[in-house]
Each structure stands twice: as structure tokens, then as C-alpha cells.
Amino acid sequence: MKITEYFEKANGQTLISFEVLPPLKGGRMKAIFDSLDPLMEFKPPFIDVTYHREEFIYRRRSSGYYEKTSIRKRPGTVGICAAIMHRYGVDAVPHLICGGFTKEDTENVLIDLNFLNIKNVLAIRGDARKFDGKFIPEDGGHTYAIDLVRQIEDMNQGRYLDENIENGDRTDFCIGVGGYPEKHFESPNSELDLCHTKAKVEAGASYIVTQMFFNNQAYFDYVKKCREIGIDVPIVPGLKPITKLYQLNSIPRIFHVDLPSDLVKAIEAAGSAEGRRQAGIEWCIAQSKELKEAGAPCLHYYTMGDSATIRQIVEAVY
Ligand code: FAD
């Protein structure tokens, strides 16, 4: 079923969903099942699976020279989606990224998804590779998520890259995109960022999932601004609990989000690792309850392999 149909059917009730990462190359599917099994009793209608671009690594050869090698550390998104749907009977939402894909590659992945009866995709640009400093698209690939949305929408109309294909199978993908309550870090200002998000919706996206945030006011203001400029699709808040001291620096650095002083104080004041974990959980529970009361369409938890923490939060909220 399409994600938007779940929202319609929920009739104002707040749904719940999870996001998982593929295991590192060489890892087992069992790791994904082990992290999802304890969460399935909460009946998420859908589960997102992230996509990871290849990274460059430098390997030292016996000659003393370094060889630049390209590896994909977390492959398997499409297979994991199929396995999740098969095991749990829920919808899986693969993230599709622009980075590392030519348009032809993208088309082939979409054909695989269509044949697997995967009806939903989250269309995302992807981040810069570590050594690039800025996002560099693949030759013959897309520069912005909107270009990816347009390609998916073209296939929904039966238009393939090869113009000689007549009567191409019309896919029926429901497309989600990312949104940034605290602005995407590369955007000169929030207004421009919102205009680009609106353009993604006009190009065919039918819901938005937000970057994580730790102050609900940022989400409420974001939804208000979206509505004011005519973005009328469901806006799903993305949530991630902070459970470790180092995350006070790593989360702002990686995700470009602000951590409220009270949250930072609570984590710093806790006297043990378990105390810090509980402080982060309490914060996320409070955030979740408020968002649910405010009528958010769905609470989307970034599990990042820590299902015990997410379970504790969801148990307290639902
Ligand atoms: P875009 O919408 O393309 O926007 C990128 C920047 O360009 C923004 O600053 C925007 O304002 C600007 N922009 C957009 N269109 C234009 C235009 N036409 N002209 C000029 N500027 C423009 N990354 C992964 O690698 N894998 C994942 O699975 C993944 N999942 C994610 C899930 C969610 C819910 C979110 C919010 C992010 C996810 N990311 C993932 C991270 C994402 O790749 C980065 O945040 C990336 O930097 C931006 O992606 P985007 O799709 O928002 O890009």
C-alpha cells in the first residue's frame, strides 16, 4: 500500500515507523531482523531502509604507494526491503539517492523495485563523500533530489529514458522526500530551502520526512511555514534519541541540528552511561508525546541499530 494511503486510513491517528541501516558489507540479514523483531509488536505500517553511496578508501600497497579504491560499505537496500516485506508483511521504503547513480542505474533500480511490488520510495540527494568536501553527482546522474523525483514521476507516466519504448509499464510509486526544520545546511536561508522543498512536492512527492530535531518548536514552525507557502502534504517528524556523551558533538556535526541547552545539561549531569541513556530516552519520550498530541501523521524513529532504546520510547508513548 502507498504510504499516503496509510495516513488517510489512520484518520488523524498518529502512526509509527522505523528506519534501519543495511549492515556493513559482510554482515548478516539476521542483524536487521534481530533489531526489528522487538519493534514489530508496535505494528509499524512501513519501515524505511537507507541507501549508502560508495566511499573512497586508500589502501597502502607493498610498494609503499597508496591505492584509491571505491567500496560500498552498506550495500543491500533493495534486497533488505524485499526480505522485510516477506518476513513481516509490512511495506518497506527504500531510500534512493542521486549520488553514485547514473540515470540509467536509477531506472534499473526502479524496475527492480517495481517487479518486487515495492510501491514506495524516499527520493534523496545523498551527502558528499568524505574526501570530496561537497556533493558531486555521478556523470550522467542527478544533482538534486528533485531530478530524481522527476525521473520516478516519469516512470509513473510510463516514460523511460529510452524514448523508443512505447507503452512502457506505468509504475505507481508513492514518493517521499526529505525536509529540514532547521534548514538544510547548504542552503543560504530557510526561505530558499523551503522553496526547493515545495518544488519537490510540485514535481510529484506526496509526503515529507524531516531530518531529526530535538526541539519540537522547530518542527511546529516548519510545518506552519510549509503550509503558508502551499506545501500541503503530510510532514512526518524524524526522531532520534541521544544516548551517549559524544553524540552531543557528533550529532550537530553530522546532521547540522541544534541541541537544546536543557537536553545537553541533562545528558552532562547524568552520572553514568546508563543515566545518560535514560536522560536521552526521557527527552525523546517527551518530544514524541507532544508531537502525537499535536496530531503529527506519524512518528518516524531513526533506530540506528539500537532497537532496545527505541522500544523503551515507543512503549512509553503508545
Ligand atoms: P535536495 O533536496 O537535493 O537539497 C539539497 C540542497 O540543495 C538543499 O540545500 C536545497 O535547498 C538545495 N536545492 C535543492 N534543489 C535545488 C535547486 N534546484 N537549485 C539549487 N539548490 C537546490 N542520505 C543518504 O546518503 N542515504 C539515505 O538513505 C538518507 N536518508 C535520509 C532520510 C531523510 C528523511 C533525510 C532528511 C535525509 C536523508 N539523507 C540520506 C541525508 C541527505 O542525503 C542529505 O541531507 C543531503 O545533504 C540532502 O538531501 P536532500 O534529498 O534533502 O537534497
The CATH number linked to 161 is 3.20.20.220
Residues 92-102: tens digit of each pLDDT: 999 999 999 99
Q: What is the pLDDT of residue 62?
A: 83
Residue 105 is inside which H or E element, if any? helix 103-115
Q: What is the pLDDT of residue 308?
A: 96
pLDDT confidence tier of residue 73, bands split at 50, 70 and 90: confident
Ligand 1 environment, Cβ below 6 A: 50-53, 95, 97, 122, 124-127, 144-146, 178, 184, 186-187, 193, 196, 200, 209, 211, 238
Residues 213-225: tens digit of each pLDDT: 999 999 999 999 9
Q: Work out the mean pLDDT of the chain and round it to a whole number.
A: 96
Q: What is the pLDDT of residue 71?
A: 80
Taking residues 231-240, report their average pLDDT. Answer: 98
Q: 305 or 120: which carries more pLDDT confidence?
A: 120
SS3 18: strand
Q: What is the pLDDT of residue 204?
A: 98
* Nearest CA owner, ligand 1 atom 26: 51
Both ends of the chain: CA-CA distance in Å? 23
Query: How far is it, in rounded angstroms, from Cα 139 to Cα 96?
Result: 17
Residues 272-310: tens digit of each pLDDT: 999 999 999 999 999 999 999 999 999 999 999 899 999
Which residues pair with residue 238 across a beta bridge? 212, 300
Residues 157-180: tens digit of each pLDDT: 999 999 999 999 999 999 999 999
Q: 243 or 60: which carries more pLDDT confidence?
A: 243
Please, which residues have CB within 8 angstroms of residue 175's CB and are 6 or more apart in sequence? 120, 121, 122, 123, 149, 152, 153, 204, 205, 206
Residues 236-274: tens digit of each pLDDT: 999 999 999 999 999 999 999 999 999 999 999 999 999
Host domain of residue 287: 3-8+15-317
297 near 10, Cβ under 8 Å? yes
* Nearest CA owner, ligand 1 atom 52: 178
**Of the residues 125, 256, 299, which should be mutated to test ligand 1's pocket, given the most ligand atoms within 8 Å of the CB?**
125
SS3 211: strand
Q: Is the pLDDT assigned to residue 91 strictly greater than 90?
A: yes
Domain count, the chain: 1
Dist. CA 314 → ligand 1 center (Å): 27
Q: What is the pLDDT of residue 69?
A: 80
Cα 48 to chain centroid, rounded? 7
pLDDT confidence tier of residue 146, bands split at 50, 70 and 90: very high
Take residue 280 and report the three cell numbers written for it: 536521552
Dist. CA 134 → ligand 1 center (Å): 12
Q: Is the pLDDT assigned to residue 70 strictly greater than 90?
A: no
Which residues pair with residue 124 across a beta bridge? 97
